[in-house]
Amino acid sequence: QKCHLTAHVDVEHDGCRPFKCDRCPKAFLQQSWLTKHRRVHAGMHVYKCTSCSLDFPRRTMLAAHVRTHTDEVCFRCELCPKGYTNRQNLSRHLQLAHGEQTV
């Protein structure tokens, strides 16, 4: 999970992220992470969905998209039976249906 990685980097590496993106505020611990991140700005979409041919700059983004085709529910509401394929849709549901404020 991204939040666990961020916490690990901050604790174990004193928040030192020497590889900074010149197009946005993001910075990275490793050069290879910056290189992968730059694909987003360059429009390099190297991961293609085999179901609909959409393409994405990161494998994780493709994986999240593929779940929309399979109806794989990874994010369940704890307040009702609803389930969603991504965290953003669950957060939106919590706000609209249950008045929950998410972080």
Mean pLDDT of 76-103: 86
Does some domain include residue 94? Answer: no
Please give the pLDDT value at position 79: 92
Name the pLDDT band for 1 (thresholds 50, 70, 90): low
The answer to the question of residue 34 being in a domain is yes
The whole-number pLDDT of residue 36 equals: 84
Does the residue 30 lie in any domain?
yes
Helices (H), 13-78: 31-42, 59-70
Provide the domain count of the chain. 1
Q: Is residue 53 part of a domain?
A: no
Q: Which residue has the tokens 């249906």?
A: 97
Contact by Cβ (8 Å): 25, 41: no
Q: How confident is the model at residue 80 (pLDDT cuts 50, 70, 90)?
A: very high
User: Has residue 56 been placed in a domain?
Assistant: no
Residue-wise pLDDT for 13-66, tens only, equals: 666 788 999 988 889 888 998 998 888 787 777 888 999 888 888 888 898 888
Q: Which residue range is the domain that position 33 belongs to?
A: 2-42
Say if 8 falls within a structural domain: yes
**pLDDT value of position 102:** 63
The CATH number that applies at residue 15 is 3.30.160.60
